[in-house]
Amino acid sequence: MPDSQLEHAQTLIKLGQPEKNTWALSRVDDALPQARPVIVPLALWLDNSTDSQLAPWLSSDTELTSDLVKRLGDAPLIAIDFPSFTDGRGYTLARLLRERYGYQEEIRAIGDVLVDQLYYMSRCGFDALALREDQHLDDALRALGAFSVSYQPGVDVKEALFERRLREERRT
């Protein structure tokens, strides 16, 4: 597969900071690219998972079976594709990977990733965000810090706001 068919996210935010993207992305599912490191479709990664310079991307309709989760544990990162901003299944995949299955490596959002989604993606367990080309880095960084308090529990804060307040009141 020619490397010219690879995608390179121009804007990547990792752990809340801009970072140079070193991983290329291939959406071709029948040919392994020469470039490394590269994120490839899940089926292609499963066939070549011993290559530490390959990482899988999951489509939003991926079912996390116990066999798949065991295999994903060896991935250097997992990318989750957002085919459109209205498809929220990727949030669930990230949260399950973090909370239920204990995945500790990078989980990256790819695809139709918009500034408006970033705060919520980070709360669900994404620690790397590959922005869509028309999204601006400054807007994205502001969006990540848009809220100082969250009501609901998330991967980052395990207690709901009312639970935190009750705990603090009991201390006084």
Q: What is the DSSP track for 6-48? A: -B--S-EEETTEEE----EE---SS---SSSSEEEEHHHHHHT
Q: What is the pLDDT of residue 168?
A: 86
Residue 2 has pLDDT above 80, yes or no: no
Q: What is the pLDDT of residues 4-14, one digit of tens each?
A: 567 766 789 99
Q: What is the pLDDT of residue 63?
A: 96
The better pLDDT of the pair 170, 154 is held by: 170
Q: What is the pLDDT of residue 155?
A: 81
Mean pLDDT of 74-91: 95
Mean pLDDT of 77-94: 95
Mean pLDDT of 116-142: 94
Kindly state the percentage of the chain with pLDDT values over 70: 96
The strand pairing partners of 130, in sequence order, are 12
Q: What is the pLDDT of residues 148-165, one digit of tens each?
A: 877 777 787 777 777 888
Residue 117 has pLDDT above 80, yes or no: yes
Q: What is the pLDDT of residue 147?
A: 83
ω into 153 cis (within 30 of 0): no
Mean pLDDT of 101-122: 95
Q: What is the pLDDT of residues 35-80, one digit of tens each?
A: 899 999 999 999 998 899 999 999 999 999 999 999 999 999 999 9
- The structure tokens 């990078």 sit at 106
The model's pTM: 0.87
Residue 12 CA to residue 119 CA, distance in Å, equals 14
